[in-house]
């Protein structure tokens, strides 16, 4: 597969590995709801993180790797009319020339696009690690970087995992002086495993309420004549149901289906057997329906299907719609940035070019499951958090969100404050009370990133790191998955038949055993028992090779084994 190359690529391809791990530090004053009083960042609720998203994503990985069902991001479009800085401290001659440089209007020079690609690459690599096996990522972009983004996504996620290239028709104002008016943006969608992506149970927002897609039943004729549908005869037995109470259809050969004798319908059913001849679209299913005593039968999609005679002699299938699926590649009817700006102003915020909440809600609704975890690492005004709360309110879901916003002012005064108001209710600019979408159980925890990384410059674990915090990094280093819950025992859990242990900060319950960070015979004897293979992380090991082999122990020394 062709790959994209640019100035600085060699320096950023593995840059995510060099980004230091940091801790998430809760800020109680900026949190709200049930998690506001938590001393540590919770994995059970909504989360807003203020900080550079490259460092924030690295900090979130040990808890959330492989657990996110849907990612939506709206990164800088790099149009030349916006201001954003690339300063990821990549130590290469090419990028050192750009550190701290603002990407602004620079004519048509390629260095602007190079810097954008250098910014995006490590972030997309980290985002990929968050997705579940059935996960999905949506990325908004416009024409400025569409071609570069598609090549980048193909390289990182895989071209065969591109699910769709969606076009969003951006309703609202546009440049009336332009020769060709631009009224669209793009949304690239990639799935971890596209074959696991089911038909979305949603209908395109531009479809009118009167559309047959919104009906409880799908009713269509099964008469279908053509080379692939040869004429055959079906015996309709007495009692075959009809869609009318009474009717008489004379014998005929001039229209389909042909009948060998009159069709007599009384009390909504066929009075006597009659042979119908035609080409059919569902002949086998029709025969199964007749053999089943006219009780509904399941089609290839599992939809319960019955058949009826109409007053004109047609035979139609009537399928009970489980839930409609009608997603098309062009999205419309979800609002505009202008309308969303006005809505934010009504809430008391000013924010340029916010994505419509109904656009993001529609994307989220495509993802199966009402308990999904949604991640947005370019959170901006908090539209994704708003969309999650709105979708939950509509369908009774329990979806959770993680939002990351770099700008401190925006994160505190727009992102967090907007989500708080939407969740718990607020008074709008007109003085009207607007009820919250989840006033009882809503809320989030607000976190910042620790100023110092998890490891000191000398490579040692910081002294203030708790056992529970280090346990997340140990579990991630060993399994590549996020750690759920809070560790309180040296036995962190079992993964693929192997137990994972951590000895750190005297977590052992038996206070008569000195230390606890070193694996000795005495320490091992009081560890929670596991009969199979074990990986034990500790500062040192005093067990000999014979016993390690006998006990099926793989010893790994902290902190050196945590360079993940």
Query: Is the model's pLDDT at 511 over the cut of 70?
Result: no
Return the higher-pLDDT residue of 439 and 276: 276
Q: Can you tell me the distance from the alpha carbon of 468 to that of 42, in angstroms, rounded to the nearest whole number?
A: 12
First-residue to last-residue Cα distance in the chain: 28
Return the higher-pLDDT residue of 151 and 324: 151
Percentage of residues in the chain having pLDDT higher than 70? 90
- Compute the mean pLDDT over every residue in the chain, rounded to the nearest whole number: 89
Question: What is the reported pLDDT for 432?
Answer: 92
Write the secondary structure of 56-97 as one string of H (helix), E (strand) and C (coil): HHHHHHHHHCCCEEEEEECCCCCCCCCCCECCCCCCCHHHHC
Q: Can you tell me the distance from the alpha carbon of 125 to that of 95, in angstroms, rounded to the nearest whole number?
A: 19
Model pTM score? 0.82
Tell me the average pLDDT across 256-262: 96
Query: Is the model's pLDDT at 558 over the cut of 80?
Result: yes
Question: What is the reported pLDDT for 98?
Answer: 62
Query: Is the model's pLDDT at 204 over the cut of 50?
Result: yes
Return the higher-pLDDT residue of 302 and 409: 409
Which pLDDT band holds residue 326 (cuts at 50, 70, 90)?
A: confident
Of 160-164, 201-205, 373-377, 425-429, minimum mean pLDDT range:
201-205
Give residue-wise pLDDT tens across range 102-152: 666 555 555 788 889 999 999 999 999 999 999 999 999 999 899 999 999
Question: What is the reported pLDDT for 37?
Answer: 63
Which pLDDT band holds residue 459 (cuts at 50, 70, 90)?
A: confident
- From the CB of residue 149, how many other CB atoms can be counted at a distance below 10 Å? 24
Tell me the average pLDDT across 211-237: 85
Which pLDDT band holds residue 440 (cuts at 50, 70, 90)?
A: low
C-alpha distances in Å from residue 176, one per residue of 80, 169, 181, 183, 299: 20, 16, 7, 11, 51
Query: Is the model's pLDDT at 512 over the cut of 50?
Result: no
Return the higher-pLDDT residue of 108 and 289: 289
Give residue-wise pLDDT tens across range 56-82: 999 999 999 999 999 999 999 988 777
Tell me the average pLDDT across 34-42: 63
What are the structural domains, with CATH classification, of the chain? 9-206+327-449 (3.40.50.150), 217-320 (no CATH), 467-562 (no CATH)
Question: What is the reported pLDDT for 88?
Answer: 78
Could you tell me which of 355, 359, 304 has the C-alpha nearest to residue 166?
Answer: 359
Tell me the average pLDDT across 416-438: 92
Question: What is the reported pLDDT for 211?
Answer: 66
Tell me the average pLDDT across 316-326: 81
b/e 529-562 (16+ beta carbons within 10 angstroms → b): eeeeebbbbbeebebeeeebeeeebebbebbeeb
């Amino acid at each position: 597969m062709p790959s994209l190359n640019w100035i600085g690529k060699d320096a950023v391809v593995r840059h995510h590995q060099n980004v230091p791990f940091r801790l998430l530090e809760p800020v109680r004053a900026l949190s709200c709801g049930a998690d506001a009083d938590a001393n540590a960042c919770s994995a059970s609720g909504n989360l807003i993180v203020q900080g550079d998203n490259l460092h924030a994503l690295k900090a979130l990985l040990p808890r959330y790797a492989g657990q996110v069902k849907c990612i939506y991001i709206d990164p800088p479009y790099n149009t030349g009319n916006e201001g954003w800085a690339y300063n990821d401290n990549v130590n290469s001659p090419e990028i050192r020339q750009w550190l701290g440089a603002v990407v602004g209007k620079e004519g048509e020079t390629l260095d602007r696009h190079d810097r954008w690609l250098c910014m995006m690459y490590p972030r997309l690599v980290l985002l990929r690690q968050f997705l579940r096996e059935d996960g999905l990522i949506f990325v908004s972009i416009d024409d400025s970087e569409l071609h570069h983004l598609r090549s980048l996504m193909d390289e990182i996620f895989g071209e065969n995992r591109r699910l769709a290239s969606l076009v969003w028709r951006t309703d609202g104002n546009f440049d009336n002086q332009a020769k060709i008016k631009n009224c669209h943006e793009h949304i690239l969608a990639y799935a971890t495993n596209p074959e696991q992506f089911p038909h979305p149970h949603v209908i395109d927002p531009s479809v009118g309420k009167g559309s047959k897609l919104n009906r409880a039943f799908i009713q269509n004729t099964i008469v279908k004549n053509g080379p692939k549908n040869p004429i055959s005869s079906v015996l309709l037995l007495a009692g075959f149901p009809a869609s009318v109470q009474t009717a008489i259809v004379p014998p005929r050969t001039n229209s389909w289906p042909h009948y060998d004798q009159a069709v007599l319908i009384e009390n909504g059913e066929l009075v006597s057997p009659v042979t119908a001849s035609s080409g059919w679209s569902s002949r086998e299913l029709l025969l199964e329906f007749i053999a089943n005593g006219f009780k509904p039968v399941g089609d290839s999609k599992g939809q319960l299907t019955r058949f009826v005679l109409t007053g004109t002699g047609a035979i139609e299938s009537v399928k009970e719609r489980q839930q409609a699926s009608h997603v098309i590649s062009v999205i419309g009817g979800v609002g505009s940035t202008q309308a969303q700006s006005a809505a934010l102003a009504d809430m008391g915020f000013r924010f340029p070019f916010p994505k419509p909440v109904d656009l993001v809600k529609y994307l989220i609704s495509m993802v199966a499951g009402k308990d999904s975890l949604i991640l947005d690492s370019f959170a901006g005004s908090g539209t994704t958090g708003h969309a999650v709360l709105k979708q939950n309110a509509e369908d009774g879901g329990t979806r959770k969100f993680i939002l990351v916003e770099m700008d401190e002012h925006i994160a505190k005064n727009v992102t967090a404050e907007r989500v708080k108001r939407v969740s718990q209710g607020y008074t709008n600019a007109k003085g009207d009370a607007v009820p919250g979408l989840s006033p009882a159980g809503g809320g989030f925890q607000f976190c910042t990133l620790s100023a110092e990384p998890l490891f000191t410059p000398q490579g040692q674990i910081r002294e203030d790191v708790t056992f529970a915090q280090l346990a997340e990094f140990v579990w991630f280093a060993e399994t590549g998955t996020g750690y759920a819950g809070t560790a309180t025992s040296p036995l962190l859990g079992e993964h693929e038949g192997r137990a994972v242990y951590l000895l750190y900060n005297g977590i052992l319950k038996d206070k008569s055993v000195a230390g606890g960070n070193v694996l000795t015979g005495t320490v091992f004897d009081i560890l929670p028992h596991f009969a199979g293979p074990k990986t034990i992380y500790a500062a040192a090991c005093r067990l000999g090779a014979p016993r390690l082999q006998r006990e099926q122990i793989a010893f790994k020394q902290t902190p050196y084994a945590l360079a993940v």
